Amino acid sequence: MRSICFYFQVHQPFRLRTYRFFEMGHEHHYYNDFENKHILNRVAQKCYLPMNELLLNLIGRYGDKFRVAFSISGSAIEQLRDYAPQVIESFAQLARTGNVEFLAETYAHSLASLKSKPEFERQVNLHRKTIEELFGQKPTTFRNTELIYSDEIGEMVYNLGFDTMLTEGAKHVLGWKSPNHLYSNARKPELKVLLKNFKLSDDIAFRFSHQGWKEWPLTPEKFTSWLAKTDKTDEVVNLFMDYETFGEHQWRETGIFDFMKALPAKILKNTDFTFRTPAEVSKILQPVAAIHVPYPISWADEERDLTAWLGNEMQDEAFGKLLGLEKKITNCTQPDILRDWYRLQNSDHFYYMCTKWFSDGDVHKYFNPYTTPYEAFINYMNVLSDFTIRVDEHCVENNKGEAKGEPTIQHGQHEAADSVDADKQADDGDRSHDFSFEHLKNISNAKLKKLLKDIDAENLAYALRDAGEDIRDRVLPNLTKSARQEYDQLTEKMKKIKDEDIARGRDKIAKAFNRLFNS
């Protein structure tokens, strides 16, 4: 018997409320609770509850011959717990039948796999634990956010203890190969890879109710005949789709529920296919080849790339700044900060900032609470700015595994390689060569003012003479009026100045800097 493998994705993001810059520093609630609750209840009523019931009935009728898989993001679980706990219970009921596999993913439906291995691992473990607690299964199959996959990500996933992973059967990766076999990761052959048959999946998920489609209306008979016509050597057809396809994207009136209700009988009766979960397929089939994916792919858009979430400057700045906080978050135990840390990682926030949709995509507009990507970006960055203030206040940076002392440096970038290790410098007050003007950019105005009090205008003038304009722009507005006057007069006079004077000036700043963060 060949396998047909249904996997449904359940995810709801934490949509942000309109958050203005003047709320930064004092308003810390970021979410549009009303909208989130409203949408969740609507989807629960239109999709999750009726479709769960339908699946439960199918399992009741066909027993072991009917199996499906789910992945439910942590963000969806949190909202279901808050707004529609009966949905969690109905998923648990499905779990108890033993015919439903629950997959693991990143807890926050995050893009962490592309940027930070530790964060990725942390989220996968958190999600795995959550699923185990809720449904009594320890997931062995992994699906990444938006089916994002590369050889490297596959390797990380294998190292986290998974033996199966799902991704898109992207044409540019497969070439002439068929998605209807089991493949293996190019670096870790032990990791089996299941590829989405996007033609047959999208016939249901996207085209089902599209009256301009030449195959409309799609009937169970027709779909079954397509399955029967697949090449006889094909071993598995992977139908991966958003769960919201049923009742939300395709309304009940389109007949999507009737279609799903009638489909198993037709397939089981008229073809040699039976329903299996990803874990089962992975167990019974032998991989036909390794699949090589050096650059990440996803299940989105024609391009099957990442450009819906990352790639324009706004998305990169927003995501980069968020993950730049990671070092401080690592040791953080404050629940409200951790909660927001995850929620702000929802891939949806970056999706709203995509500028591709000006030319294409009503699909995208449908999911987007903002009128333009620019509004989405500004709103997100306002929230992120406030979140950063909180992280700076409450979290201690994790440096080389140990953290002590007051956190002082704000990292603009996640790769904070050039950051000052305050502790280290405290041990060696004279190691002023460790100091760089770049550090001044990262400390708060208050700190900078304090620092500048220690430096006389002459030394400052020397030190800043060859510093970059950005440094001067940072420093000068923080001088007192009189210091500024003195400084201006001195720089006027300093037409010719000695190198050792510059060095002396720099040295003074470095020492004051170290003293400041030492005390």
Partner 1 sequence: MKILMFGWEFPPHITGGLGTACYGLTRSLATEGAEIVFVVPKAFGDEDQSAVRLMGASDIEIDAADPDTQEFWKRVTYLQIGSNLIPYVTPEAFRRLVEERQRQQQQPIDDLVLKAKFDFNGGYGSDLLAEVSRYALIAAGLAGKQQFDVIHAHDWPTYPAGIAAAAISHKPLVVHVHATEFDRSGENINHEVYDIERRGMEAADRVIAVSNFTRNTIIEKYGIAPDKVVTVHNGIAAATDYTGSTTRYLKEKVVTFLGRLTQQKGPEYFVEAAHMLLQYDKNVRFVMAGSGDMLPRLVRQVARLGIGTRFHFTGFLDEQEVQQLFAISDVFVMPSVSEPFGLVPLEAIRANVPVVISRQSGVSEVLDHVLKVDFWDVNALADAIHGLLTYKSLASEFRKHGKNEVSQLTWDHAAHQVIKIYEDVVAISQLT
User: Which active-site residues does the annotation give?
Assistant: 146
Q: Would you count residue 378 as binding partner 1 (CB under 8 A)?
A: yes
Stretch that binds partner 1, among 4-12, 66-74, 310-318, 420-428 (CB under 8 A): 310-318
Could you say which of 34, 213, 367, 374 contacts partner 1 (CB under 8 A)? 374
Q: Would you count residue 190 as binding partner 1 (CB under 8 A)?
A: no
Two tokens, residue 505: 């000036």
Two tokens, residue 432: 């002023």
CB 108 within 8 A of CB 73: yes
Cβ contacts of residue 265 below 8 Å, gap of 6+? Answer: 62, 220
**Pairing label, strands 68-72, 273-275:** unpaired
Q: What minimum distance in Å lies between the beta carbon of 472 and partner 1?
A: 9
Q: What minimum distance in Å lies between the beta carbon of 484 and partner 1?
A: 12
Q: Would you count residue 438 as binding partner 1 (CB under 8 A)?
A: no
Give the nearer residue to partner 1 in terms of CB position, either 315 or 399.
Answer: 315
Q: What minimum distance in Å lies between the beta carbon of 360 and partner 1?
A: 13
Could you say which of 63, 98, 217, 477 contacts partner 1 (CB under 8 A)? 477
Q: How many beta carbons lie within 10 A of that of residue 481, not counting itself?
A: 7
Q: CA geometry: angle at 27 spanning 24 and 32, to 5°? A: 110
3-class state of residue 440 by DSSP: helix
Could you say which of 358, 406, 427, 433 contacts partner 1 (CB under 8 A)? 358
Two tokens, residue 350: 């970056």
Q: Would you count residue 22 as binding partner 1 (CB under 8 A)?
A: yes
Q: What minimum distance in Å lies between the beta carbon of 338 and partner 1?
A: 25
Distance of CA 382 to the CA centre of its chain: 19
Stretch that binds partner 1, among 217-225, 265-273, 313-321, 396-404 (CB under 8 A): 313-321
Give the nearer residue to partner 1 in terms of CB position, either 318 or 461.
Answer: 318
Could you say which of 312, 330, 408, 491 contacts partner 1 (CB under 8 A)? 312
Give the nearer residue to partner 1 in terms of CB position, either 22 or 366.
Answer: 22
Query: Helix 117-135 to helix 74-83 angle, to the nearest 10 degrees?
Result: 40
Two tokens, residue 297: 């792919």
Cβ contacts of residue 373 below 8 Å, gap of 6+? Answer: 312, 314, 352, 353, 354, 355, 357
Compute how many residues bind partner 1; rule: CB under 8 A. Answer: 23
Give the nearer residue to partner 1 in terms of CB position, either 57 or 480.
Answer: 480
Q: Would you count residue 479 as binding partner 1 (CB under 8 A)?
A: no
Stretch that binds partner 1, among 17-25, 75-83, 282-290, 328-336 (CB under 8 A): 17-25
Q: Would you count residue 32 as binding partner 1 (CB under 8 A)?
A: no
Q: How many beta carbons lie within 10 A of that of residue 433, not counting itself?
A: 9
Q: Would you count residue 371 as binding partner 1 (CB under 8 A)?
A: yes
Two tokens, residue 128: 């795995």
CB 416 within 8 A of CB 443: no
Stretch that binds partner 1, among 46-54, 144-152, 265-273, 381-389 (CB under 8 A): 381-389
Q: Dihedral through CA 105, CA 109, CA 111, CA 115, nearest 10?
A: -60
Q: What minimum distance in Å lies between the beta carbon of 312 and partner 1?
A: 6
Residue in 206, 191, 133 with CA at minimum distance from that of residue 161:
191
Q: Would you count residue 21 as binding partner 1 (CB under 8 A)?
A: yes
As a whole number of angstroms, the distance between CA 180 and CA 197 comes to 7
Stretch that binds partner 1, among 16-24, 329-337, 420-428, 486-494 (CB under 8 A): 16-24
Could you say which of 466, 473, 488, 500 contacts partner 1 (CB under 8 A)? 473
**Pairing label, strands 182-185, 289-291:** parallel
Q: Would you count residue 487 as binding partner 1 (CB under 8 A)?
A: no
Residue in 5, 9, 84 with CA at minimum distance from that of residue 46:
84
Give the nearer residue to partner 1 in terms of CB position, either 27 or 313.
Answer: 313
Residues belonging to the chain: 519
Residue in 388, 354, 343 with CA at minimum distance from that of residue 110:
343
Q: Would you count residue 317 as binding partner 1 (CB under 8 A)?
A: yes
Q: Would you count residue 476 as binding partner 1 (CB under 8 A)?
A: yes
Stretch that binds partner 1, among 133-141, 148-156, 172-180, 366-374 (CB under 8 A): 366-374
As a whole number of angstroms, the distance between CA 251 and CA 87 comes to 19
Q: What minimum distance in Å lies between the beta carbon of 146 and partner 1?
A: 22
Q: Would you count residue 20 as binding partner 1 (CB under 8 A)?
A: yes
Give, rounded to a whole angstrom, the gap between the first and last alpha carbons of the chain. 72
As a whole number of angstroms, the distance between CA 361 and CA 351 comes to 12
Give the nearer residue to partner 1 in terms of CB position, either 139 or 324.
Answer: 324
3-class state of residue 2 by DSSP: strand
Stretch that binds partner 1, among 73-81, 236-244, 386-394, 469-477 (CB under 8 A): 469-477
Restricted to residues 131-170, the positions that interact with partner 1 (CB under 8 A) are: none
Q: Would you count residue 47 as binding partner 1 (CB under 8 A)?
A: no
DSSP string, 168-195: E--HHHHTTS-SSSEEEESS-TTSEEEE
As a whole number of angstroms, the distance between CA 433 and CA 451 comes to 18
Q: What minimum distance in Å lies between the beta carbon of 52 and partner 1?
A: 41
Could you say which of 375, 454, 456, 486 contacts partner 1 (CB under 8 A)? 375
Q: Which residues bind partner 1 (CB under 8 A)?
A: 20-22, 312-314, 316-318, 355, 358, 371-372, 374-375, 377-378, 381-382, 385, 473, 476-477
